[in-house]
Chain A
Amino acid sequence: KNEVEQSPQNLTAQEGEFITINCSYSVGISALHWLQQHPGGGIVSLFMLSSGKKKHGRLIATINIQEKHSSLHITASHPRDSAVYICAVGLQYNTDKLIFGTGTRLQVFP
Chain B
Amino acid sequence: SQKIEQNSEALNIQEGKTATLTCNYTNYSPAYLQWYRQDPGRGPVFLLLIRENEKEKRKERLKVTFDTTLKQSLFHITASQPADSATYLCALDTSGNTPLVFGKGTRLSVIA
Genuine A/B complex: no
What is B's interface to A at a CB cutoff of 8 Å?
none
